[in-house]
Amino acid sequence: MTPETNGAGQWPLWEVFTQPPGGKPHEHAGSVHAPDAEVAMQNARDVYTRRGEAVSLWVVPSVAIVASAPGDAGPFFDPGNDKPYRHPQFYKTPRGIKVF
């Protein structure tokens, strides 16, 4: 195994994010294999911007991305009960507004 390849003989995986025109936020477009950030950027440009649908690119090593686990869905994303000001329970709905 060389520094620029993984155990399977492939270059490291990079995640590609593209920004559409009009100031919209970056979106995950896909992945590319590359030995370094410069080549990853070139590969991403060649693969994901052929039709001019992006004005900006980000490439991030896949190993640098940390994600929550599906089992964390409940406790991780539930609102904290120690901060009642974050709940809409104190908001009074004006008359004439239909409440769902």
φ/ψ (deg, to 5) at 82: -80, 0
Over residues 4-26, mean pLDDT: 88
pTM of the model: 0.68
Distances from the Cα of 31 to the Cαs of 1, 44, 58, in angstroms? 22, 8, 11
The string of pLDDT tens digits covering residues 16-33 is: 999 999 889 999 999 999
φ/ψ (deg, to 5) at 66: -115, 135
The string of pLDDT tens digits covering residues 57-70 is: 999 999 999 988 88
**How many C-beta atoms lie closer than 10 Å to residue 72's C-beta?**
10
Which residue has 């000001």 as its token pair? 85
